[in-house]
């Protein structure tokens, strides 16, 4: 290895010699009166460079010493010598045969570290989500300087991280987009819809690149990359000032590749194999780092910085395991509390300790569940981009209005809702919103509205997807349903029943199939997905005014509040959100319609009665309804009375899957371990009613 301590001394000697040449304007010893001759200095430099391991520099110095060059040639030779001194940081193989294995660490790439790559992908995706949101803001407010700066910072950070991990394609694309955005920051590039289109396309490209990196396939430059690169570069060529922007960016280009790495990491990766200039170039000096920090962090966003510093990323699998273990702890605590020996104990201190344990366990469970909650605004942000693209594709002006973005729900539910929300928005844009000429004829604003709202209601989360379009045409839906054989010609349906026909598989009233919708698949997907999440769909529509879809879902899939009821010797759990009330029937409240269907009079409403023991084929304690308990259940299809033997009590239970073999039983949503250690089946009230109605 070269002796790095000698490098400054050799450079100083060369600089001194260059200065003497300029002052003395002579050659071969004319550098100054009484001074050492130039050839002698060069000979000494050759010897010192050779001893220090700078072999190429030693060779050049020897040639200059023996060549007797003129002053101009000597100056050029000294410049070559200075350059060779920097580039010859590594001795030749002949000089260092013992250190042959040393270059091995240079083969190591930081991109081989899975943790670094995972952090890079996660952070980059967060930046891309923020970029996309700010770009949609920019499209409405092109002069918003904060939005431009935010987008610029996002691409700048991705570029620096990609350069650090040697993802060349990602780094190049981010750099070109960043350069174009720098023009916009300087006022030399106008933010137009065409510019937004190109930048959004680059966002999509980077998302695909992140997916490739995450899967381990890597991401290389391809034809699509080059085509998009040309489009981005064309933005800069069509506006004045592009060249100056490129020049201004060149000053920070060298700094970007090392910005994301701590000094120790840079030394580890550079020292074994990278030539000496990498250790001495200006960007690696400590001074520029504060300037970089001011670029990569949002200015004046102290609140966000404080939030980031107080948060930590946790693997979802670890979080799921924690929630599962907390659920087991709750079950164990309930079993201890219901143990006969302990429940009958007269020790007051023991009872107080058990009560304290119950409170702590409940608090731990609530905290663990809160850790899985995410704001639904993240889901709404994806929809904003989708509506923007679809509205331009179909030639309609559509504004997205969102409410309740801070409403929280379980992370799993939020992820599962992505597809249903996408299908419902596509239907609203393609079917619900009228064409511009049709809206003008109906004296409606040319710009239509799609509204996404979220709020909590009775222990559930409600998501509304509303549009101010043409509404649902009951006659058209009914005619199509009869044509497909879904409804008999003599059958009379309520308006709500007609609305629900659009949820049937393969049902569509679209006259023309497009690449957006019309095949009758979307709403069927929505229905199945919402049912899997133990939710339900409600539809409200008014002709000429618009349509609103309401998705009512549980806050979490892990726990449920329920009423424990008994039928015979079995226990069942009725979800509390499905129950409106309970009562013991009197003689005048039970009726039979046409000797077939039992009905109960509940607050001046006749509701059908379902005997749970008949549904599951188990012997009850009594078949007399006046000795039993009626649970009034509310489902999306029908309100009805569920007849059970008795009520044990209210309990919060942890939902357990029944597995593939038992998971398809109509009317059963899962199982739970009760406080006494017995297993209770969780009832699916909607599934129970559908199974009962088809009997």
The residue extents of the domains of the chain are: 6-99, 111-299, 318-368, 374-554, 559-693
pLDDT of residue 252: 35
Nearest in space to 49 (alpha carbons), one of 28, 26, 80, 18? 80
- DSSP tag of 382: H
| CATH number of the structural domain 374-554 | 3.30.565.10
The answer, yes or no, to whether residue 240 has pLDDT greater than 60, is no
pLDDT of residue 557: 75
The answer, yes or no, to whether residue 17 has pLDDT greater than 60, is yes
- State the pLDDT confidence band at 521, using cuts at 50, 70 and 90: low
| Nearest-angstrom CA–CA distance, 162 and 117 | 10
| Nearest-angstrom CA–CA distance, 199 and 235 | 10
pLDDT of residue 549: 92
pLDDT of residue 382: 82
Per residue, the 3-state secondary structure of 511-566, as one string, reads CCCCCCCCCCCHHHHHHHHHHHCCCEEEEEEECCCEEEEEEEEECCCCEEEEEEEE
Least confident of 3-7, 410-414, 548-552: 3-7
pLDDT of residue 592: 82
> Tokens 């001394």 identify what position?
9
What are the beta bridge partners of residue 547?
Answer: 467, 541
- Most confident range, picked from 34-38, 133-137, 530-534: 133-137
User: How buried is 661 (Cβ within 10 angstroms: 0-12 exposed, 13-18 middle, 19+ buried)?
Assistant: exposed
pLDDT of residue 492: 75
| CATH number of the structural domain 559-693 | 2.40.50.180
Q: What is the pTM of this model?
A: 0.60
| Nearest-angstrom CA–CA distance, 274 and 245 | 30
- Return all residues near 506 (Cβ < 8 A) that are at least 6 apart: 484, 519, 520, 521, 524
On the CB side of 327, how many CA atoms lie within 13 Å of its CA? 20
| Nearest-angstrom CA–CA distance, 124 and 120 | 6
Across the range 296-311, mean pLDDT stands at 48
- State the pLDDT confidence band at 25, using cuts at 50, 70 and 90: very low
Least confident of 139-143, 578-582, 627-631, 659-663: 659-663
pLDDT of residue 519: 44
Across the range 342-359, mean pLDDT stands at 86
Choose between 596 and 613: higher pLDDT: 613
H or E stretch covering 438: helix 436-441
Is residue 564 within 8 A of residue 571, CB to CB? The reply is yes
- DSSP tag of 603: T
For the chain, the maximum distance between any two Cα atoms, rounded to a whole number of angstroms, is: 131
Choose between 602 and 7: higher pLDDT: 602
Per-residue burial over 473-501, b = 16 or more CB atoms within 10 Å of its CB, e = otherwise:
eeeebbebbeeeebbeeeeebeeeebbbb
Across the range 232-246, mean pLDDT stands at 58
Across the range 99-122, mean pLDDT stands at 62
Per residue, the 3-state secondary structure of 198-216, as one string, reads HHHHHHHHHHHHHHHHHCC
pLDDT of residue 111: 61
Query: Tokens for 542?
Result: 């008014």
Choose between 43 and 589: higher pLDDT: 589
Query: Tokens for 254?
Result: 């060298």
Residue 36, phi then psi, degrees to nearest 5: -65, 140
pLDDT of residue 219: 59
pLDDT of residue 427: 85
Is residue 404 within 8 A of residue 376, CB to CB? The reply is yes
pLDDT of residue 414: 87
pLDDT of residue 11: 75
Is residue 429 within 8 A of residue 388, CB to CB? The reply is no
pLDDT of residue 88: 55
pLDDT one-digit tens code per residue, 336-347: 887 888 877 888
Arithmetic mean of pLDDT over the chain: 76
- Protein fold of 111-299: 1.20.120
- State the pLDDT confidence band at 31, using cuts at 50, 70 and 90: very low
- State the pLDDT confidence band at 72, using cuts at 50, 70 and 90: low
Choose between 221 and 255: higher pLDDT: 221
- Most confident range, picked from 73-82, 527-536, 597-606: 597-606
Across the range 500-518, mean pLDDT stands at 67
Least confident of 54-63, 431-440, 585-594, 615-624: 54-63
pLDDT of residue 695: 58
Strands 679-683 and 668-673: antiparallel
Query: Tokens for 207?
Result: 């998302």
Nearest in space to 547 (alpha carbons), one of 468, 439, 447? 468
- State the pLDDT confidence band at 693, using cuts at 50, 70 and 90: confident
Q: How many residues in the chain?
A: 695
Neighbours of 685 (CB within 10 A): 26
Across the range 309-325, mean pLDDT stands at 78
The answer, yes or no, to whether residue 95 has pLDDT greater than 70, is no
Query: Tokens for 147?
Result: 């939005």
The answer, yes or no, to whether residue 548 has pLDDT greater than 90, is yes
| Nearest-angstrom CA–CA distance, 451 and 454 | 10
pLDDT of residue 573: 93
Least confident of 54-58, 123-127, 681-685: 54-58
Choose between 636 and 442: higher pLDDT: 442
Choose between 520 and 197: higher pLDDT: 197
- State the pLDDT confidence band at 5, using cuts at 50, 70 and 90: low
Strands 605-611 and 639-644: parallel
| Nearest-angstrom CA–CA distance, 281 and 279 | 6
pLDDT of residue 269: 34
* Percentage of residues in the chain having pLDDT higher than 90: 13
pLDDT of residue 685: 84
Residue 92, phi then psi, degrees to nearest 5: -70, 165
E runs forming strands in 272-422: 373-375, 398-403, 408-410
Across the range 311-325, mean pLDDT stands at 81
Q: Under DSSP, is residue 450 helix (H, G, I), strand (E, B) or coil?
A: strand
Across the range 557-584, mean pLDDT stands at 88
| Nearest-angstrom CA–CA distance, 199 and 196 | 5
* Percentage of residues in the chain having pLDDT higher than 70: 75
């Amino acid at each position: 290895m070269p002796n790095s301590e000698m490098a400054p001394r050799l450079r100083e000697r060369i600089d001194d010699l260059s200065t003497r040449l300029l002052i003395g304007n002579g050659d071969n010893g004319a550098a100054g009166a009484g001074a050492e001759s130039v050839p002698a200095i060069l000979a000494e430099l050759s010897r010192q460079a050779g001893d220090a391991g700078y072999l190429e520099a030693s060779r050049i110095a020897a040639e200059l010493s023996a060549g007797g060059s003129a002053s101009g040639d000597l100056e050029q030779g000294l410049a070559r010598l200075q350059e060779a001194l920097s580039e010859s940081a590594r001795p030749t193989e002949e000089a260092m045969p013992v250190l042959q294995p040393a270059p091995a660490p240079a083969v190591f790439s930081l991109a081989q570290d899975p943790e670094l790559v995972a952090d890079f992908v996660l952070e980059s995706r967060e930046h891309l989500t923020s970029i996309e949101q700010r770009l949609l803001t920019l499209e409405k407010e092109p002069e918003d300087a904060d939005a431009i700066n935010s987008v610029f910072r996002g691409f700048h950070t991705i570029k620096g991280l990609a350069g650090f991990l040697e993802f060349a394609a990602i780094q190049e694309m981010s750099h070109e987009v960043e350069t174009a955005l720098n023009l916009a920051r300087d006022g030399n590039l106008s933010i137009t819809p065409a510019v937004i289109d190109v930048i959004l396309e680059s966002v999509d490209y980077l998302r695909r690149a992140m997916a490739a990196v995450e899967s381990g396939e890597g991401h290389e430059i391809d034809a699509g990359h080059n085509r998009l690169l040309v489009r981005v570069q064309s933005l800069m060529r069509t506006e004045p000032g592009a060249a100056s922007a490129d020049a201004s960016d060149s000053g920070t280009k060298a700094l970007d590749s090392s910005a994301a790495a701590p000094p120790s990491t840079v030394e580890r990766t550079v020292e074994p194999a990278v030539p000496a200039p990498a250790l001495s170039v200006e960007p690696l000096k400590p001074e520029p780092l504060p300037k970089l920090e001011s670029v990569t962090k949002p200015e004046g966003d102290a609140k966000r910085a404080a939030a980031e510093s107080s948060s930590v990323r946790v693997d979802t699998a670890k979080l799921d395991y924690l929630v599962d273990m907390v659920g087991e702890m709750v079950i164990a605590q309930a079993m201890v509390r219901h143990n006969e020996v302990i429940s009958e104990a007269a020790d007051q201190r023991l009872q107080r300790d058990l009560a304290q344990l119950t409170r702590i366990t409940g608090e731990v469970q609530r905290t663990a569940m809160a850790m899985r909650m995410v704001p639904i605004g993240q889901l709404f942000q994806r929809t904003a981009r989708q509506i923007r693209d679809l509205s331009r594709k179909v030639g309609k002006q559509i504004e997205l209005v969102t409410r309740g973005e801070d409403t929280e729900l379980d992370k799993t539910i939020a992820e599962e809702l992505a597809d249903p929300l996408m299908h419902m928005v596509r239907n609203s844009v393609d079917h619900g919103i009228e064409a511009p000429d049709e809206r003008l004829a109906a004296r409606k604003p040319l710009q239509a509205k799609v509204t996404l709202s979220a709020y909590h209601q009775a222990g559930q989360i409600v998501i509304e997807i509303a549009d101010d379009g043409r509404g649902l045409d009951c006659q058209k839906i009914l005619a199509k349903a009869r044509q497909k054989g879904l409804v008999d010609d003599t059958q009379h349906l309520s308006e709500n029943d007609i609305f629900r026909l659009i949820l049937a598989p393969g049902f569509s009233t679209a006259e023309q199939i497009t690449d957006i919708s019309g095949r009758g698949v979307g709403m069927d997907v929505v229905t199945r997905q919402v049912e899997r999440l133990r939710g339900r769909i409600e539809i409200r529509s008014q002709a000429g005014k618009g349509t609103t879809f309401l998705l009512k879902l549980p806050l979490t899939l892990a726990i449920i509040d329920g009423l424990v009821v008994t039928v015979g010797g079995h226990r069942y759990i009725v979800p509390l959100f499905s129950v409106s009330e309970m009562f013991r029937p009197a003689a005048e409240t039970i009726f039979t319609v046409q000797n077939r269907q039992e009905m109960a009079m509940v607050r001046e409403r006749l509701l059908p009665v379902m005997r749970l023991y008949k549904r599951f084929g188990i012997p009850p304690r009594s078949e007399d309804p006046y000795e039993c308990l009626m649970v009034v259940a509310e489902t999306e299809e029908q309100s009805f009375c569920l007849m059970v033997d008795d009520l044990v009590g209210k309990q919060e239970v942890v939902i357990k899957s029944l597995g593939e073999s038992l998971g398809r039983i109509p009317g059963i949503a899962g199982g739970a371990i009760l406080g006494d250690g017995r297993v209770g089946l969780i009832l699916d009230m909607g599934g129970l009613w559908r199974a009962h109605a088809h009997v």
